[in-house]
Structure 1
Amino acid sequence: MVAKFSNLKAIVAATSLTVLFSVPLQARAEDPVDEAGLLAALAQADPGEAIGLDRSLQALWGSSGSPAMDLLLKRGKDALERGETRMAIEHLTALTDHAPGFATGWYERARAYFTAGLFGPAVADLERTLMLNPNDYNAIFALGAMFEQFNDPQNAYEAYQRAQAIHPHHEAITSALDRLKTTVEGREL
């Protein structure tokens, strides 16, 4: 009889665990779980909260949904970090060829083109990125940097303002706006 009860306890415990892990957990109402929620929270966040929201958005945008495409992205980014720009462009071109709807692939290839001094292709890839994901504040910031490269501070400043409207606590955006403010707006008398 004791053996029957010990087996019964194991079965009840296993069943309880199965039920516990198969029931979806209720997300807290204040936790943004989708892109729109993350972006809305980012626009209202304090600087500390913005860091985590930025990471969440980058993780969301950085996942293609395909392990093979994610591997091409990783290889391209790794090659760019190692200074192997040509190799990065090759990996990222394969990515954009096979996953043309994946905005991050276009953004990363734009970075590689910019590093290689290929500004025309970099701008074209940034335009494609923003067509696919108009809220990618890093791509908007990069477009502002391109305008600065072309000695167009007015358009650069406007791009940085657009990026800051999405991510108010992005340090590079704030720094760029501070740098260009007197050039674009002039000095107060």
Structure 2
Amino acid sequence: MKFFKPIFLIGCFFLNSAAADQLDSRLIELFDKLYIAESKKEINTLTQDIWKIWDETNDPKIEAYYYRGLEAMRMGDFVMSIDLFTRVIEKNPDFAEGWNKRATVYYILGQFDKSMIDINKTLLLEPRHFGAMDGMGLIFIQLQQYDKAMKIYDQMLEIFPHSVDTLAKKKLMQEFISQSI
């Protein structure tokens, strides 16, 4: 199951190169378009636009901590990135992407319990956060809880039902479940 970690990390670094304010009114239209989008290109463009909004902190001090945390992640300084994302969360506990980024670092470190706590907080603040959902699905895969992972991918398909990537992950979970019976 270790092959999922690189996929998750690549998604984190390329899809989330910004961070989000989950209350931004622009998200309504983007999620409406994402729901009906059928092409992979259109889905990718819309998800990138959503990530860009999610990455907006609207606070220069938080933004400095946030982007330093991203840089620390890229450099493999996970202790520093946890510290910086924790500062973001302390300054603005309603900023969902701060929680999501710290969850990502905990996932990288194999600290799934801590990652799951932060993922749940992210989803409490932004129930449509497909990145956090995907992270939760990957944790369930690592724990070989394929039925739970499949439920997460079903939830993601409610957000963008034509996502080839999510459909493929769901199919893989179905295969894992059938093999484990």
Q: Which of 99, 104, 111 is equivalent to 2:104?
A: 111
Aligned length, in residue pairs:
154
1:169 CA displacement = 4.9
Q: In structure 2, give the amino acid aligned to 1:121.
A: K
Q: Normalized against structure 2, the TM-score is what?
A: 0.79
1:164 CA displacement = 2.3
Q: Distance in 1 between matches of 2:50 and 2:162?
A: 14
Q: In structure 2, give the amino acid aligned to 1:35.
A: L
Structure 1 moving runs of 4+ over 6 Å? none
User: Is 1:163 matched with 2:156?
Assistant: yes
Q: Distance in 1 between matches of 2:131 and 2:162?
A: 12
Q: Which runs of 5 or more residues in structure 1 are unaligned? A: 1-32
Q: Which runs of 5 or more residues in structure 2 are unaligned? A: 1-24
Greater RCO (CA < 8 Å, at least 6 residues apart): 2
RMSD: 1.7
User: Is 1:130 matched with 2:135?
Assistant: no
1:183 counterpart residue number: 176
1:74 counterpart residue number: 67
Tell me if the contact between 1:137 and 1:167 (Cα under 8 Å) persists in the aligned partners: no
User: Is 1:46 matched with 2:31?
Assistant: no
Residues 175 and 75 of structure 1: is their aligned pair in 2 closer, same or farther, counting only changes over 3 Å?
farther
Q: Distance in 2 between matches of 1:86 and 1:129?
A: 20
Q: In structure 1, give the amino acid aligned to 2:92.
A: A
1:29 counterpart residue number: none
Greater CA radius of gyration, 1 or 2?
1
1:181 CA displacement = 1.8
